[in-house]
Amino acid sequence: HDPYKILVSEVMLQQTQVPRVMEKFPSFLKRFPTVRALAAAPLNDVLREWQGMGYNRRGLYLKRAAEIIVAEYDGKVPQSPELLERLPGIGHYTARAICTFAFGHASSLIETNIRRVFIRHFFNDKETVRDEEILPLVKQTLPSKAKIRDWYWALMDYGSLAIPKGENPNKRSAHYVRQKPFEGSRRSVRALILRTLLAQPLTETKLITFVGKSAPKFSREEIKDIIREIKKE
């Protein structure tokens, strides 16, 4: 029920499989046990601890969110979805998941497993299903506030475990995007750049040369462009 721990877990679960989060979550909390500890920590320490999770900007956004929570909300995670969505890296689903699991709010949620359940049972004859069509049905199924956490846990488990193998109703979602391979992608170069800089400070010229040797399919100009992207964050 700890809002900070749920905030951390929900951000970690964005675009990362549960087994990987289960492995990283305890060590991250041991290093940064409270929102104040995370807010006060050097950014390098946070990004170093985040290594292995992928999408490193989430670690950056989580650190910035902690700083705002301490500065503007006296170290207490906001209970309003609208306030949560103002924090870096917190979108529509994550804000409502935090409100549901931390505070017991009866919010309507859609994530990949919930979407899979509703498309399978309510949209069998439709090829393209938008989340806006699913949300009213989710709202109609919500139980009392006292059981809201259990309901969503069961719904997510059902979507994850009970849908027959080989069947993926989410392919009929208007929001379905197939994840591109990590190896050889711009994301892999971003991760390499960050990992290199956390290990040793380098000038930009030396960094480009080092990264170019490990990612030879990327030109120096492409690597420079990725470095510019990182700097903007």
| pLDDT at position 18 | 87
| pLDDT at position 179 | 67
Cβ pair 119, 106 in contact under 8 A: no
Is 233 catalytic? The answer is no
> Tokens standing for 80?
């309003």
Query: Would the CA dihedral through 144, 147, 149, 152 be positive or negative?
Result: negative
Identify the segments of the chain with pLDDT beneath 50: none
| pLDDT at position 37 | 98
Q: Which residue has the tokens 């924090």?
A: 87
Contacts 24+ apart (CB under 8 A), 151-159: 152/100, 152/101, 152/109, 152/114, 155/113, 155/114, 155/117, 156/111, 156/113, 156/114, 157/113, 158/113, 158/117, 159/112, 159/113, 159/114, 159/115, 159/116, 159/117
CB atoms within 10 A of CB 221: 9
The per-residue pLDDT for range 152-187, each reduced to its tens digit, is 999 999 998 877 777 788 889 988 877 677 778 888
| pLDDT at position 145 | 77
Cβ pair 31, 14 in contact under 8 A: no
> What CA–CA distance (Å, rounded) separates 222 from 134?
40
